[in-house]
Each structure stands twice: as structure tokens, then as C-alpha cells.
Amino acid sequence: MKGPFKFDSFPEFKETYLIVGWRNDTAMTAQKVINFLQERLDSRQFCRIEPANFFSFAGVAVEDDVARFPESTFFYTARKDLLIFLSDQPDYEHYRFLSALLDIAEDYCKIQQIYTISGMISLSAHTAPRRIFMVFNKPEIKESLQDYGLEEMTWEGPPAINSYLLWIAQKRGIPGISIWVEIPFYLAANEDPSSIKLALSFLNKRFDLDLSLEKFDIEIREQNEKIEWLRKGDSEIHQYISFLESGMQLDEESQLKLVKEIYEVLKK
């Protein structure tokens, strides 16, 4: 295949499904979901989209004193019908990048459907059940997922990269769906194990993966205990969360303080 990609191996595929996640999205939800799938489904890297022309190298990220350059990688799993794509979001030439992604997925991997995973900011409290929303590019995929508890998403504003991907996929006749999981705004700078578990629960059911998600129950309980400890020791924070629980909204100053205090207590 010609294009901006490099193969590490050449596994054979017949009919596959592709799960797409982007690093550093809201609360790193997609990355956490993908990493969990990679580990539990014994994934193997087989192809990369070369970063040249798509990414800026002016500000390379440093994690644990190690420079991390942009990566865009395809993985196959022990389930040969299930593929994973994890990538940084491109800085330039989005259409060419997403077209290259679909070239590999369609021409080589023979995908049947695309599923993208993302987190979305919510003004609800962390004690409220999370909801999962969907955006689809073909009516038939919506109909096939009617029993999964997904809600339709309405949005006005600039399109997200996932919506752009679905649009290009639609032009090629590839069914696709974007899954958006609610994340309380004051957890967006940390992680939200409830949202990660919800996204994984959907994929678990959709693809019959038989994954155990108990580890997230422990993380959810620990997070809730830390926030409850903060509420008991800070009446103002307790009031802010109580307002959210009753459906009221906070002003900008109160939101910023809640974000700051929650961030600090969860990092301890």
C-alpha cells in the first residue's frame, strides 16, 4: 500500500471492527479505555501512520522525564475481528490524516464498522449516573444499537475530529458511531473511572468480550471516598456539589474553585 504509513507485520483480516481513541481527550477517557483493551485482549501493533506533515514537533510532550513524540498506531487483538487505533490528534492536514486512517482500515483491514470513544464535559454531579451519547453516520447502525442504552447527542459548534472521521467514512459507505461518555466538569482534569467503566461496559456487551471490570468499582469507590472526605471538611465545597445534585448551576468562580479543590484532593 502506498501512503504515509509503515507496517510492522502483515496479519490477515476478513471482516473487522475498528475502535478509535485519541490521546489526551477529556479526562483521558479514550486512552484509558484503549489501554485497558490492549492489555486484556493481548493486542499487537501492526501498522503506524508516519507523523511527518501531520504533527508539530515544536512542543514535544515530556512524561516522567522521557520525551514522547506523536504516535498513531493500529493494533490487532486476540479477537481477529477487533482492531484498535490509538493516536494523538493531528495538528495539520486533518483530511489527509483521516483518509490515511481509513485507507488502512478499509483496504487492508476490511472493516465493517467504526466505533470512536470520547469523553464529554457535563455539569452534573459525580453522584449522578453517567450517560452515554451517540452520533452515527448511517441510520442502520443506530437501529442495531437500540438496546444498548445510548442517547442521541445534539451539538452545535465546530465538529470534533470524531465527527469529521464519521463524515469521511460515510462518503466511503462505512458505517460509524461516536460514543460520548459524560464526565462531571470537576473531574475532567483527573480521571473518571465511572465514565471509563461505562464505555467499556458498552464495548463489552457490543462485542461479547467477557471482560471483568471489577477494578473500576474499586477506583470509583476510592474516588467517591476522597470527595466525600472533602465535602465533610469543607462546607463550601459540599454546598457546591449539593447545588449540582439538585440540578442547579454554579457561577464561574464557584466552578473554578470546585475544580481546583477536587483536583488537589484526588491527586493526593
Calculate the average pLDDT of the chain: 90
pTM of the full predicted structure?
0.90
Strands 176-184 and 132-136: antiparallel
pLDDT digit string, tens, across residues 145-189 = 888 888 888 765 556 899 999 999 999 999 999 999 999 999 999
DSSP assignments along 257-268, one per residue: HHHHHHHHHHH-
Q: Does the structure show a pLDDT above 60 at 203?
A: yes
d(CA 260, CA 262): 6
Distance CA 118, CA 27 (A): 9
| Beta-bridge partners for 6 | 48
Compute the C-alpha angle 172/173/174, nearest 5°. Answer: 95
| Predicted pLDDT at 52 | 82
**Cell 493486542 belongs to which residue?**
43
Residue of 2 and 145 predicted with greater confidence: 145
**Sheet strands side by side (includes 151-152):** 5-7, 44-49, 72-76, 82-87, 16-22, 111-122, 176-184, 132-136, 151-152
pLDDT digits (tens, 9 = 90+) for 73-90: 999 998 879 999 999 999
The predicted-structure confidence for 10-64, as pLDDT tens digits, reads as follows 999 988 999 999 998 889 999 999 999 999 999 999 999 988 888 876 655 555 5
Determine the Cα–Cα distance for residues 218 and 205; give it in Å rounded to an integer: 21
Residues comprising the chain, all counted: 268
